């Protein structure tokens, strides 16, 4: 088993050494640990207007790149669950209807969580979309990927951390170890510097995110759901404009029998969806 592990590590590191990605920035994230941002920080601000959509995020809606799933939360009442969209900002001629649901977690009751699948899109096209109604409606946009092809360029971001594994007396660095590659963003001041750096660097066409989203499980039981809300508003500045490919980590389990919460991944599964 150890021999297989070492050989796999050697192959992976060889690929990384011979790769052409290079260093694109001198940015270095500050040392862990970092303090949580207070809930009244401006990055968690609630959008203005009654029942205005918040925590907006999108993910790819099929395996060909011609669909997206648009998700958001309305805090006061369900409101409309449809998305208006089009290739012109001033002419959103097409509409698709989504679904809406809410849930409770211990003493927390969620807002109304919407998911809308928008299909039949064209490749390499910028779309504008609107959610909500009246003065509380909000506008965003996204771009679809190019057609699938072996030589098709596609730029994506990975938000993650370097992991160090120690086996006997040997340190093995595995940057692409899937249990740690992307995630652990949380909502600390380090989280803010990481996300701002990603946006300032020009970003990618999509983000690969392989777990450990809000770190809400490190808060008091009554604050778990609230910290999912703040994290959703925090990530919106990127997640509303490009697909984030979601998965879960250990911090999404949130199996808490001591307060009667016996369904693992409950908060995550209501809020985030994938094809």
CATH of the domain at 46: 2.60.40.380
Note whether residue 220 is domain-resident: yes
Which range (26-30, 209-213, 256-260) has the least confidence? 26-30
Query: Residue 163: pLDDT above 50?
Result: no
Cα angle 189, 213, 20; round to 5: 85
Q: Give me the domain span that covers residue 146.
A: 42-271
Are 51 and 137 contacting, i.e. CB atoms less than 8 angstroms apart? no
**8 found inside a domain:** no
The answer to whether residue 87 is domain-embedded is yes
Tell me, yes or no, whether 29 lies in a domain: no
Is residue 120 scored above 80 in pLDDT?
A: yes
- Per-residue pLDDT reduced to its tens digit, 40-81: 999 999 999 999 999 999 999 999 999 999 999 999 999 999
pLDDT surpassing 50 at residue 15: no
Confirm whether 171 is domain-assigned: yes
Question: How many domains is the chain partitioned into structurally?
Answer: 1
Task: Report the alpha-carbon angle 120-124-127, nearest 5.
Answer: 65
The pTM of this model reads: 0.82
Percent of the chain exceeding pLDDT 70 equals 79
- Give a yes or no: residue 11 inside a domain: no
**Do the beta carbons of residue 254 and residue 270 sit within 8 Å?**
no
Q: Is residue 33 part of a domain?
A: no
Predicted confidence (pLDDT) at residue 254 exceeds the cutoff of 60: yes
Residue 179 forms part of a structural domain: yes
């Amino acid at each position: 088993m150890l021999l297989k592990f070492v050989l796999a590590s050697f192959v992976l590191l060889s690929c990384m050494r011979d790769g052409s990605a290079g260093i694109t920035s001198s940015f270095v994230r500050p040392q862990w640990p970092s303090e949580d941002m207070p809930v009244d920080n401006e990055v968690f601000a609630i959008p203005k207007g009654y029942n205005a959509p918040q925590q907006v995020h999108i993910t790819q809606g099929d395996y060909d790149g011609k669909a997206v799933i648009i998700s958001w939360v309305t805090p006061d009442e369900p409101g409309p669950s449809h998305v208006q969209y089009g290739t012109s900002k001033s002419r959103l001629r097409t509409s698709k209807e989504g679904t809406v649901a809410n849930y409770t977690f211990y003493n927390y009751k969620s807002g109304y969580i919407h998911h809308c699948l928008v299909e039949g899109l064209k490749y390499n096209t910028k779309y504008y979309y609107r959610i909500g109604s009246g003065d509380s409606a909000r506008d965003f946009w996204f771009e679809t990927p190019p057609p699938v092809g072996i030589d098709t360029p596609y730029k994506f971001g990975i938000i993650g951390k370097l992991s160090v594994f120690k086996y006997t007396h040997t340190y093995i660095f595995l940057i692409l170890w899937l249990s740690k590659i992307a995630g652990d963003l949380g909502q600390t001041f380090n989280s803010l510097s990481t996300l701002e750096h990603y946006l300032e660097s020009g970003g990618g066409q999509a983000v690969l995110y392989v777990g450990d989203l809000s770190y809400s499980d490190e808060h008091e039981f009554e604050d778990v759901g609230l910290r999912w809300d703040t994290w959703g508003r925090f990530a919106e500045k990127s997640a509303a404009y490009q697909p984030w490919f979601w998965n879960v980590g250990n911090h999404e389990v949130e199996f808490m029998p001591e307060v009667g919460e016996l369904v693992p991944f409950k908060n995550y599964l209501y809020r985030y969806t994938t094809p």
